[in-house]
Amino acid sequence: MSKINLTINGQPVEARAGMTILEAAESAGIEIPTFCHDPQLVGVGACRICVVEVEGGRGLPAACVAPAGDGMVINTESEKVVQARKANLSLLLANHPLDCLTCEKSGECKLQDYCYRYGVAETDYPGEVKEIPFEDSNPFYERDMNKCILCGKCSRVCFEVNGAGAIDYAYRGFKSTIAPAFEEPVENSPCVFCGMCVDLCPTGALNPKLSKGLGRAWEIDKVKTTCPYCGTGCNFYLEVKDDKIVGVTPDYDSPVNKGNLCVKGRFGWDFVDSPERLTKPLIKKEGKFVEASWEEALELVASKIKETVDKNGPEALAGLSSARVTNEENYLFQKLIRMLGSNNVDHCARL
């Protein structure tokens, strides 16, 4: 790929031909604000917060979609650019509930961050504010479209990455919103609750229900782990506060799943501290389950295996393992059963 040379904020930058201005700037460590941009999605240039000034160019192009050109002289924070970003933020604030004190997204909200960065405390253009009914009828996430700034990342990830296409823009002009077809609740749409939309939402419009009220962004530590639900081995971060899990966020750098998750990994973490969770082996004695030690339980299993093999031969023995353990553990399990002389071994995953 050929190289191009450009100047960004007075700094000489070498970039690859074909890069956008945003990519060229990022490669040189220059940060440009974005709402609608995400590296895994096709660029749409919708939010216009990333506008920059290109010397000799017309208007202010959106850095996320404008190609970087050889010899370009770009200013990402010129007075014109800053004025345009302030106007943009002011327009978004005019149509956004300013409930940051109780908003779940506070502390990791891009709208909040950029308003702070550009000193936009309130809107210059007060007027009508949209009033869209709050939606929380599904078990996994809430949709508060009054907080939506229509960056469209949710609908694009749903279509481009997940392939579900459950939501898209509806209506035009000021009435525009993101909705499932016919504005049905999302559970009546092709939504599979992968939660990727929730993860990409720059504001508090999409919130995981389970995490609600469990902690603010700045109180939470992130612990990288592997999903225990199946053998795929998706990585993600557990959000932890006071040694308790309060949520899950994706790990976009994971080579296994690149941030993609399914409903179980994304929203199914509450079993960890569930009072119904089995934490000790149970042995059925006189028709009732009774807590036992691991030694006792393993002893019982071993004796039952031996008894079965002795009585009916190894072919009478069968092993069924779980999809929730790793490939390696499944491998070991089938090895064990075969070592015991039986080929009757299976696994609960079915495609």
In the complex, the residues that contact another protein under the rule CB under 8 A are 43-49, 51, 59-60, 62, 65-67, 80, 83-84, 87-88, 91-92, 94-95, 124-125, 127-128, 149-150, 152, 168-169, 171-176
Both tokens of 296, joined, read 């006792």
Please state the closest distance from residue 62 (CB atom) to another protein, in A. 7
Please state the closest distance from residue 22 (CB atom) to another protein, in A. 12
Quick one: 66 or 103, whose CB is closer to another protein?
66
Partnered with residue 47 across adjacent β-strands are: none
Residues 6+ apart with CB under 8 A from 45: 36, 62, 64, 65, 66
Please state at what angle helix 79-94 crosses helix 110-117, rounded to 10 degrees: 130
Quick one: 66 or 186, whose CB is closer to another protein?
66
Quick one: 25 or 150, whose CB is closer to another protein?
150
Quick one: 125 or 331, whose CB is closer to another protein?
125
Quick one: 83 or 188, whose CB is closer to another protein?
83
Please state the closest distance from residue 53 (CB atom) to another protein, in A. 9
Please state the closest distance from residue 138 (CB atom) to another protein, in A. 24
Please state the closest distance from residue 233 (CB atom) to another protein, in A. 35
Both tokens of 61, joined, read 């192009």
Please state the closest distance from residue 40 (CB atom) to another protein, in A. 18
How far apart CA 56 and CA 60 sit, in angstroms, is 11
Handedness of CA 118, 119, 125, 131 (dihedral sign): positive
Ordered DSSP codes for 255-295 = TTTTT---HHHHH--TTTT-TTS--S-EEEETTEEEE--HH
Please state the closest distance from residue 174 (CB atom) to another protein, in A. 4
Ordered DSSP codes for 131-190 = ----B--SSSEEE-GGG-----HHHHIIIIII----EEEESSGGG-EEEEGGG--GGGTT
Quick one: 155 or 260, whose CB is closer to another protein?
155
Quick one: 108 or 168, whose CB is closer to another protein?
168
- Which residue type sits at 112? Q
Both tokens of 303, joined, read 């004796």
Ordered DSSP codes for 288-314 = EEEE--HHHHHHHHHHHHHHHHHHH-G
Please state the closest distance from residue 59 (CB atom) to another protein, in A. 5
Both tokens of 331, joined, read 């491998």
Burial class (CB in 10 A: 0-12, 13-18, 19+), 199: buried
Quick one: 136 or 168, whose CB is closer to another protein?
168
